[in-house]
Structure 1
Amino acid sequence: MKRRSLAFRLTVILAVAWFALFLVLGVVIWQSTQRLIQEAQADKARALATQLATISLDAVLLRDYGTLERYLSDLSGAVAYAEIRRADGQVLGQTGQHLPGVELLRVPMRAAGEQIGEVLAQYDPQPARRAAWQLAGLMALALTVFSGLTFWALRRLLLGRLVAPVVALIEQADPERIVMPMAADAPTEVADLAAAIGGLRERIGRHIAEAEEAAHARNEALRRLCSEQRLAAVGQLAGEVAHELNTPLSNILGYAQSALPGAADAEQRDALMTIEAQARRAGQIVRDMLTAARAPAPSLQVIDLEAICAAFVRLVTPLARKQGAVISLESTGPVPVRGDASRVEQILFNLVFNAVQAGASEIRLTPAATGAPEVVVGDNGPGLPETVRTRLFEPFVTTKPAGQGTGLGLAISQRLAREMGAELEWVESDAGARFRLAFPPLAEESKS
């Protein structure tokens, strides 16, 4: 069913009401006018008949019929029909033509208390009807003009004072529309309703904003809770792994250290030194995994980020070369920062070997001291899918095939960075993947 607007409904109601009022008034005026004119005509005819009966009394007594005829002749233009009749029914004179269906007025003629005759008269209703029609036409025209003007004025008043404010209220209730101030001459009730809608709109807006903020906070808290639960599980697992790995790692480190003084040539000595360094780093990794459950304070001191990157490149270049990758350092000079050297090395190791495992053949480390001290690790690999970019640092999120990665490297790296006061973030790049490890600026006194 098609809905009709308020303006249409008001117009129809006013039009029907005005037409009904006009019709009732027209009928009442027509009947009243016609009755008044007919009564006036009847009164006139009765008065003439009474006057004729009075003046004709002597002529009837004297049987002066000529005088009666003269009286009737004088009366012929005033009434439609007139007749003088004696008491015995003899007609003494008449004028005009009897009209059937029209009231016949009878006026008795009395002498000495005795009725000696009567005067009969009829009036012509046609002039009264013509006059009634003329008067009704004029009244209908006047009513039509008056009704049209009042209908237009009332409709304009209702549309301007009722419909227009309602439309304005509808616009105010729409949150996407600009709220316009209510007209100063608006009715008090409409102004109050507009104020109430405005207040309701503000409260709804605040409620929506608070609900969105609460939902965001809840989602963030849930994400952090899940992340912490996963890390707690990793910490528990790391404790068991560390317990099992400490002994073989200690043995490897001990054998490497004991074999190092008796190395036959430089190549063998370099290999043993690499084994010793890797065994120490493996032990540090085990300890860092334990910090997933308990996070001890890092050992912060002023370190040179460029020197750490250079030492890291020399250390991992042989391992990367076996994987078909080349690691380069773009050095611009010393980059002093406050941090933990072992944690920085762990973060770089995770980033570099993630790139190698993703298929990168060139990896660049770029430490810089301009602005915030940082080191950028970039590669020429396939980059990161959009589906995981927003979840990169969550535990167990990985792009590696099943069985080739745990998805903990970036989560642990970000935690290690934040414990030093630094920040690890992914940087959008046209080719490959880029990660930025940024430190807060070092105070001047710390540099010295």
Structure 2
Amino acid sequence: MSTTTTEELSATTLLRFATAGSVDDGKSTLVGRLLHDSKSVLTDQLEAVERASASRGQDGPDLALLTDGLRAEREQGITIDVAYRYFATARRRFILADTPGHVQYTRNMVTGASTAELTVILVDARNGVVEQTRRHAAIAALLRVPHVVLAVNKMDLVGYEESVFAAIAEEFTAYATELGVPEVTAIPISALAGDNVVEPSATMDWYGGPTFLEHLESVPVSHDLAHCHARLPVQYVIRPQTAEHPDYRGYAGQIAAGTFRVGEQITVLPSGRSTKISGIDLLGEPVDVAWTTQSVTLLLEDDIDISRGDLIVPSKDAPPTTQDIEATVCHVADQPLTVGHRVLLRHGTRTVKAIVKDIPSRLTLDDLSLHPHPGQLVANDIGRVKIRTAEPLPVDSYADSRRTGSFILIDPNDGTTLTAGMVGESFASPEPVKDEAEDDGWDF
């Protein structure tokens, strides 16, 4: 196990990253190798993996078992659920989301990458860039993940040939650049043998870049959200009504972005009512300032009507409220999303009724062309939608806020998540047509 001290960890930064790729590209093996070679595995965990591997007739430990923890995953040999792992080196702390590669579980990749600052897309050197590779690149672009690593795995099975790596890196980088991915770093690896994962490869001396871990430790990550639009979705109204605090009324939630200060003028949306912050409680103690990701309770000068689902924002920086939302979405359910579909839309802590008014386009992954007005989106499709909500919502552009610029669509009948949406995101749009759901008689 790593001997990194508490003092050393306090000086490190945190990187959230996710892995993605097709089935059998070696994601779980890469993660297992990373944890093993960086000495981030407890002795009893490694012993359990060695026993499990031996029982399956394997000569050495199958490092993929360090992440494929579900019994169904071990039996099938594929990753099904998002496996989160926490580890640290002397230079940085990490939260890793190992996401499934099977096309059926693309929805889980969306979940894992939605909060990531870096996405690792694995490619089997024998197969090169395939459809699932392109889909994962498109999702990373839509989610505005700042950094993308192309890990060309199984280089040992292609003789460690530089030309094979170069061709795959060139094809993927060109595709990702067209999608608008800001940065791609390509690294040739063999997760099974350990080449260029933690230690430099002795068999790929033609590669002069960083190892996989070196890149993870050195990639710039900005957590300075002080200048972002401050947003607090209200999760709970606290009224203890104790003898000590008979008039206490606080509005609790996790700050989605920005900073709030005592004395600041705020507006509550969608009502539009304004007041000032009279106090901020953090972990039961009063503070003057609170910022992104902290869970706090705001106390306000005036007694105004606020409930779960409302959004507290600085009055000088309030987003517009609207009932008409245009967004790019990734459809994740087996049930198609169709024009006229009645859904629930969850934005922050608020859930409202909504109607899909139009589906202007669907993205074709092969050449990034747009299929105009497909009428529906099926599982794993990426497309544009126009949605009308029953109540006004205060939404930011996803480009401004990954938290308050995103939403999900839910089936009102069984609660199934249908679609993940990014407000305002678009590759391009065809010419508009008449709103097909315009005259259906629904009154919102």
Give the TM-score of the pair, scaled to structure 2. 0.19
Bigger CA radius of gyration: 1
Higher strand fraction: Structure 1 or Structure 2? 2
The structure with higher relative contact order (CA 8 Å, sep 6+) is 2
